[in-house]
């Protein structure tokens, strides 16, 4: 069985579908602070399988101990965390407290129960302001905001675990996959599960979808004077279903005969950069909808371009993104148009 913390959220719910379809039982622990129980009901309907769910906080060690005592857990995928960059600048303590304490309590319970296979949700944000592209996993790391710093601190903390195994001659050493996501977008092709942001979206794709459906008047394109193909920011957008499959590959590798040695980082992206205007135009053309936009000032803290070298994930995990830009924009629109209020209206 796989314990999925934060499994009711955007990436977690898609990963539950892929895990179940690959034959795993899943147990979700989520405090529903940024998600709804409905996402998991839909995962159950999509897969025809039950998802064991516990509503609770990962910072609660007592809950974790009960879960490990009462379930046969082979590996953990740790999604639970807060992820809004702007909010993290306003409330850094809240971000450090939630994201770091969740991880500390989790790895303590894992160690106590001798379950030492972990997949951690990291982010391309740990590369800071990239000096060279594409980004490989061994490039220098830095943080430009408290959210990114929480990921960086957690990565560093996790790297100490196998070092301790060596010193203590552990016969069951830690195996940890740090998955550095680039820009997750899209939704399950059924239109049943997708991203359900609270309030005004910070990220590009949900803002485009909400503009297309008329919830927002106009998309602000942050900066038209970057040194990129058309002056707008370039990112490596990755379809959430491809990303979810990357987690299954990581789990399979952790649980394989070969295993995974210590802590290893993997970029999960497509390896291709897409500009904001390319994304807007693909959304309009593929979905036959209008997306009014205007070029506005650059957003503070944004980098011009960011995209991954994905060869390590391909070689080591046997994973490669398969879905392209058309799938990303069509699936985002299917989710948005069928669920205009997200999970708040049962569709
Ligand atoms: P999400 O907010 O949809 O999912 C996170 C889930 O964790 C939510 O269901 C939330 O209720 C839960 N949660 C938060 N704190 C918790 C706690 N203390 N105890 C129990 N549950 C808790 O976000 P997502 O987009 O699915 O992201 C999942 C992970 O991936 C996060 O760690 C995020 O930082 C990371 N990540 C996301 C992106 C992205 O663009 N979406 C990019 C890189 C990394
Ligand atoms: N962006 C934009 N308008 C928006 C949101 C984002 O122009 O309303 C741009 C942003 O400047 C960046 C890209 O879209 O170039 C992706 O931004 P997002 O916030 O989705 O992800 P980030 O890479 O910043 O984490």
pLDDT for the residue numbered 347: 44
Residue labelled with tokens 């070029």: 295
Residue labelled with tokens 């379930």: 71
* Under 8 Å between Cβ of 264 and 178: yes
Q: Is the CB of 57 under 6 A from ligand 1?
A: yes
Task: Encode pLDDT of 127-176 as tens digits.
Answer: 998 989 999 999 999 998 999 999 999 999 999 999 999 999 999 999 99
The total of structural domains in the chain comes to: 1
**Pocket perturbation via mutation, ligand 1, pick of 42, 80, 205 by most ligand atoms within 8 A of CB:** 80
3-state secondary structure of 155: helix
| Atom in ligand 2 nearest the alpha carbon of residue 222 | 7
Chain-centre distance for alpha carbon 92: 20
Q: Is the CB of 207 under 6 A from ligand 2?
A: yes
pLDDT for the residue numbered 345: 65
pLDDT per 10-residue tile (average), the chain, 347 residues: 98 98 98 97 98 98 98 98 93 97 98 98 95 96 95 98 95 97 98 94 96 97 97 98 98 96 98 98 98 96 94 98 98 97 75
Say how many Å lie between the CA of residue 166 and the centre of ligand 2. 42
Find, among 85, 47, 67, the residue nearest to 244 by Cα: 47
145: DSSP letter: S
Q: Which residues of 68-92 are buried (b: 16+ CB within 10 A; e: fewer)?
A: beebebebbbbbbbbbbbebbeeee
Separation of alpha carbons 302 and 144, rounded Å: 10
Instruction: Tell whether the torsion through CA atoms of 334, 336, 337 and 340 is positive or negative.
Output: positive
Q: Is the CB of 141 under 6 A from ligand 2?
A: no
52: DSSP letter: E
* Under 8 Å between Cβ of 65 and 3: no
- The answer, yes or no, to whether the previous bond of 134 is cis (omega within 30 of 0) is yes
Q: Is the CB of 184 under 6 A from ligand 1?
A: yes
Query: Tokens representing 67?
Result: 């879960």
Note down the domain range covering 260.
Answer: 2-346
Report the residue count for the chain: 347
257: CATH: 3.40.50.720
pLDDT for the residue numbered 301: 84
Catalytic residue, chosen from 95, 147, 237, 293, is: 147
Say how many Å lie between the CA of residue 203 and the centre of ligand 2. 5
Quickly count: other Cβ atoms within 10 Å of residue 15's Cβ: 30
| Entry pTM | 0.98
Considering just the CA atoms, what is the radius of gyration of the chain in Å?
Answer: 19
* Under 8 Å between Cβ of 164 and 182: no
In this structure, the residue with its CA closest to atom 24 of ligand 2 is: 302
**Pocket perturbation via mutation, ligand 2, pick of 88, 203, 223, 298 by most ligand atoms within 8 A of CB:** 203
pLDDT for the residue numbered 183: 98
- To the query of whether residue 147 is one of the catalytic residues in this protein, the response is yes
For the chain, the first-to-last Cα distance in angstroms comes to 30
Q: Is the CB of 238 under 6 A from ligand 2?
A: no
Say how many Å lie between the CA of residue 99 and the centre of ligand 1. 9
Q: Is the CB of 221 under 6 A from ligand 2?
A: yes
| Atom in ligand 2 nearest the alpha carbon of residue 306 | 23
Separation of alpha carbons 122 and 144, rounded Å: 15
Among the bound ligands, name the one nearest to the CA of residue 88.
Answer: 1
| Atom in ligand 1 nearest the alpha carbon of residue 78 | 32
Say how many Å lie between the CA of residue 194 and the centre of ligand 2. 18
Q: Is the CB of 65 under 6 A from ligand 2?
A: no
Among the bound ligands, name the one nearest to the CA of residue 184.
Answer: 1
């Amino acid at each position: 069985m796989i314990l999925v913390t934060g499994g009711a959220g955007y990436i977690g719910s898609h990963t539950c579908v892929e895990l179940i379809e690959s034959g795993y039982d899943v147990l979700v622990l989520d405090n529903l602070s940024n998600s709804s129980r409905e996402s998991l009901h839909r995962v159950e309907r999509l897969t025809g399988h039950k998802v064991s769910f516990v509503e609770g906080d990962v910072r609660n060690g007592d809950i974790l101990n009960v879960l490990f005592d009462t379930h046969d857990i082979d590996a953990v995928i740790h999604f639970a965390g807060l992820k809004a960059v702007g909010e993290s600048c306003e409330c850094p303590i809240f971000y450090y407290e939630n994201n770091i304490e969740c991880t500390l309590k989790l790895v303590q319970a894992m160690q106590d129960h001798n379950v030492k296979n972990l997949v951690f949700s990291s982010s391309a944000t740990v590369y800071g302001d990239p000096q060279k592209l594409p980004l490989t996993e061994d490039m220098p790391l830095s943080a430009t905001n408290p959210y990114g710093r929480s990921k960086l601190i957690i990565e560093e903390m996790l790297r100490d675990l196998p070092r301790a195994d060596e010193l203590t001659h552990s016969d069951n050493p830690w195996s940890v996959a740090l998955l550095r996501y680039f820009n997750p977008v899209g939704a399950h092709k059924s239109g049943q599960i997708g991203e359900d942001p609270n309030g005004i979206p910070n990220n590009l794709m949900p803002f485009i979808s909400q503009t297309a459906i008329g919830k927002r008047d106009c998309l602000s394109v942050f900066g038209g004077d970057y040194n990129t193909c058309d002056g707008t920011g370039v990112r490596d957008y990755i379809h959430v279903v491809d990303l979810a499959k990357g987690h299954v590959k990581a789990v399979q590798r952790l649980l394989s005969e070969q295993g995974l040695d210590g802590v290893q980082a993997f970029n999960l992206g497509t390896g291709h950069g897409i500009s904001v205007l390319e994304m807007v135009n693909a959304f309009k053309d593929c979905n036959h909808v209008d997306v009014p936009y205007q070029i506005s000032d650059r957003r503070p803290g944004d980098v011009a371009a960011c995209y991954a070298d994905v060869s390590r994930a391909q070689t080591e995990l046997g994973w490669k993104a398969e879905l392209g830009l058309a799938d990303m924009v069509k699936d985002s629109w299917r989710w948005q148009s069928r669920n205009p209020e997200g999970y708040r209206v049962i569709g």
